[in-house]
Each structure stands twice: as C-alpha cells, then as structure tokens.
Amino acid sequence: MSERAANGSVVNETTSRVSVRRYGTDKPAPRTDRARRLETESKWIVQGPRQQLADIADELPESTWTWAGDHALILNLVNSVGTLELPHLGTLDLVTRKFGQDQFDAMLRELTDAATTLPFSANKAAAGRYSVSTAPRDEVLYHAFVYLRYILSDRAPEEVRLLPALEMIVREPHRLWRSHRRDVRIEAMTRVDAHTPLDLVTRPGVAVAAASLSPSGATLAERLGGRLPEVVSERKIRPTADTPENRFVKAFIGQARTIIGRMRSAVSSPEPDAFRRNLLRDCDRMESSLMPIARHSMWEEVGRMVRIPFSSTVLQRRRGYRRVLQHFSRIRLAPTIPLDKDGMRDLLELKNIALLYELWTFFRLVGEITAVLGSPPVRSGRPASDLFQTAFAAGGTFEWDSGVSLVYNERFSRSRGGRWRSYSVPLIPDIALSVPDGPNAGLHLFDAKFRAKALADVGFAADDKDADDKDADDEKTAERAGSFKNEDIYKMHAYRDAIPEARSVWILYPGGEFRFFGVPG
C-alpha cells in the first residue's frame, strides 16, 4: 500500500502500519478515493511505530496532539477545516458538522472585501497604497507565500493552477514583428524601401564597369556618375518575444522566486521547528516546480519590465497571460486580512473557523454600524507589520464622526487606566461598542462564540421553570466535573458584574436565532 506524504514522496509499506480511529471507539477513519475524512468535533487516535508517530507530530502544532503511551497519538483538531498532508498518513480531509469548507471560504472572502475598504491608519497620507514595483513587500511575505504555494500545488483547481498557464505561455508566447536596418553588400540586397535611394546618393561609392552589371544596374550606375556604394542598409523583419506582456510574465516569475527565497531565509534556523521545516520543504518543492519555466531559453531575449501593461488586451484576454495577471493582482492583495503571525498560520494552515469567526464578527459590526450611521469610520488602529504578519492588534479601534467607537479585544482590569475598568478579575471581551449618546448610549460588549448550530445546543430550548431547575442541577454536576455547557452565559454575567459601565452584553453565535434576557425592574 502506498500513499503520498507531505513532501511529495511516496510512503510505502510502513504506511499501512499507521492507523486512525475515532477516540473511544474501534471505528476507523472513513476514507474517500483521495483521503481519510476526519470530523474535527471528535478526537482521533493515531496508532503505529513511535518514530512514525513522531514524524506526524512534528508536522502539527503542539496544541493539536498529545501522546497516549509510546505508540498512540491523540489528535484534537477542533474547529479546523481543510486539507492536511501528513507523513505516513497521506491526505486528511478535515470537516466539521457545524460549518463547511464553502462557508469558511465565503466568510474569508467577505472578511477580505471588508478589510480592503476600511481606512486602516486613515490619518496617514500614504496608508494602503501599493508601489508599482512587483517586489513583494516585507509585511506581506507570508501571506503572499501561502497564496503562491496554493496555486503551485495539486490541491488548486485546474483553472487556478499557475504552472499550466506558464507552460502555455512558453509554448506559444505572444510575439511582435520588429524591424531593424543592417548593412549588406549591394549585390546581396533583396529588399528596397524609401531609405534605399538615400543610401545610394549619400554613401561613398566606387567606380564600376557597366559591362559587369545587369541592365538595370548599369542604368543606375550611369545615373550616379558611374559609381555605386559597396554597402547599403537593408530593412529586416523578424519576430521577437521581447514584448511588454512577456516582460511582465518574466517579472512575475522573478517575483515568485523572490518570495520563495525570502521565505527560505526568514525561516532558516539551526534547529527549525515543525512549522519552519514544513515551510522549507514547501520552498524546495515550489522552487523545483518553477525552475524549468524560469530557465526556458525564451527569457534570454526578453528584457526587464519598466511598467506594468495593465491596458494590454493580450494580458487581459489571452489564455495563460490572463491567469498570470489574476495571480499577480491577488498576491498584491494578500495582506488585506489583518491577522497576526500565529493567527494567520492557524487560519491558513489548519483553517481554524473559530478564529476567523471572531474576526469576521468584528468587521461585520463595523459594516452594520456604518450602515446605521450612514458614514464610514474616520479613524482606525494601524496594523503592525513585519515579514510574517499584518496584525490588527488587541485594542485596535474604529471611530466614527458621531463619537461611536468599536474596539477589538479591549482589556479591562483593576490596574488599567483609562475610561473602562474591571473592579475584580481581568477581562477581555472580543468586541466593545461605545455609544456616546441617544437611547442606546453606553458600553455594549460582545463575545463571538463558534460553538452551536442552535440555541438549544447551549441550553436555551425550554423556558419553563421545571426545565430551568433541571438545567441548573445538570450545570452544577457538570461544573463539578470541570465543564458546563452554559459557561458562555456565566461569562456574560461576569462582564456585567465586573465592568460597571457595561449596559448590555451579547454572545454572537452562528445562526439566525435571537434570545434576550432583560434585567428585572
């Protein structure tokens, strides 16, 4: 039995010695034609030789696995979706009953669209502008690398993959006919144009014998005083691949290789961790896939790009070229989702829906407030940037002209100065909304919880007293066991009790249901 490992190599007989089953059962992980399928609401047991399990663990964040003896790993990939390539296991499809890959992608697109239109550091004149250079900016390196890795992989749909587009271009490149003049001996001249008479009368000539010439040549020599130049210029026409469109593609290939090279430098370490080892393997694979295209002889005659030919119909419409232009644009837009390095890694490597949901709810609130107020925010916190991140930090704030403000991950504590405090324990609501005046004036707190598909799943199914009493008994039992299903509600009570300014507190669950508990009196 053979499977393909994360580095592209084929894992042979030892692969069959590693098994995966649902935690607490003997049921093996279901398989499709291409992968094992793991529901991430469940834990999974991976069993096999210790060294092979260690190889698997090295490919995963430490928070996602624990050892269970010498020959078993417990995987806990909660809230993750997407595809993992692991040694000795091959491909794993991670799914969740709560949310699908399509919903994840839709939320990611919506977040990207929102982030591109919001005025990050609006008080900075140059904020958000892109250089016309094709060199990748330091602060977007990892984001651009992740996108490039995707379009160079077999996981990308056929219509998205980069290599087929580049192969199409080098196989049938766009060419132009270029003319130039070169000197030839007069007897070898094959083409006459408007420039030829000028050469005949201005270039120095030598005496010629009319008998040695053709009748037309003798007539010409006679009119030129018996003298003809030995050399004249002749116009030659040849096809060339040195076009603005090919210069653009050549620059894009150079940009892609630069991204790979800079990522390799950024993660190189004497003792790299699993994350860095994975990236280094990705760099090797991506570089080897691009190398045949980059070394093609066609590029020897293609010059350096001096401007981006956005208006070119070839670039916009011709197969191959159109796809390269699309990828170029998307790589330049890659940093528009404001996540820190660890968050971006978690989101893009394991696709943690809970992380995305928290950030998505914040930007959805920005959009809803903008719609209610009828004007966009005028100020916002500036993302911090380096090689691996464009981070919208805790405490990042959006403000509107009316005085309304929305704060991401604001910290409330006893020692913290400023307008808001917690008189007891430190608390960090996901979102804090401050309304300065009007019927809704006050501080409103929100926590985004990607936990349930229906309110009944968190104990809100019944309204009668008997059910409430039973729930209370169940919660006490669960609390003593170290967990309780209404912990989200308890946390909201903590916000209300510890933060005097809090007028209302809200849990933002996925779905369309609504439930409100008003304060008596």
Residue-wise pLDDT for 160-191, tens only, equals 899 999 999 999 999 988 777 777 777 667 77
- Asked if 168 and 260 sit in the same domain, the reply is yes
How far apart are the C-alpha atoms of 386 and 391, rounded to whole Å? Answer: 9
Give a yes or no: residue 24 inside a domain.
yes
* Distance (Å, whole) CA 442 – CA 100: 37
Q: Kindly state the tokens that stand for 186.
A: 């007069």
195 lies in some domain = no
Last residue of one domain, picked from the residues 45, 72, 95: 95
Does residue 324 contact residue 174 with C-beta atoms inside 8 Å? no
Q: Which domain holds residue 88?
A: 3-95
| % pLDDT > 70, the chain | 66
Q: Are residues 271 and 402 in the same domain?
A: no
Strand pairing partners for 399? Answer: 379, 405
Domain assignment present for 375: yes
| 179 assigned to some structural domain | no
Residues 347 and 267 in one domain: no
Of 337, 365, 382, the position where a domain reaches its end is 337
First-residue to last-residue Cα distance in the chain: 70
Q: Output Rg (C-alpha) for the chain, integer angstroms.
A: 33
Q: List, for residues 482-496, the tens digit of each pLDDT value.
A: 334 567 777 888 888
The 10s digit of each residue's pLDDT in 340-383 is 545 544 444 555 667 777 888 888 898 899 999 998 888 876 55
The answer on 372 and 310 residing in a single domain is no
CB 265 within 8 A of CB 208: no
Residues 258 and 351 in one domain: no
Do 324 and 361 belong together in one domain? no
Supply the pLDDT for residue 47. 94
Q: What is the pLDDT of residue 411?
A: 83
Query: Is residue 397 in a domain?
Result: yes
Q: Cα–chain-centroid distance for residue 83? A: 15
Closest CA to 200 of 174, 214, 215, 219: 219
Q: What's the domain count of the chain?
A: 3
- Would you tell me how many other CB atoms lie within 10 Å of the CB of residue 333? 17
pLDDT reported for residue 395: 75
Mark whether 250 and 351 lie in a shared domain. Answer: no
Residues 251 and 272 in one domain: yes
Cα dist. 187→211, 447, 470 in Å? 15, 89, 110
Listed range (123-137, 331-345, 385-399, 430-444) with the worst mean pLDDT: 123-137
- Does the residue 165 lie in any domain? yes
Are 354 and 328 found together in one domain?
A: no
Question: Both 139 and 88 in a single domain?
Answer: no
The strand ranges marked E within 96-230 are: 176-185, 205-207, 227-229
Domain limit, last residue, from 293, 312, 337? 337
| Residue whose structure tokens are 């390095």 | 341
Token digits of residue 103: 């919903």
> Is there a domain that residue 314 lies in?
yes
Residue 290, both tokens: 């691009």
Same domain, 77 and 159: no
In a domain, 191, yes or no: no
Are residues 367 and 328 both part of a single domain?
no
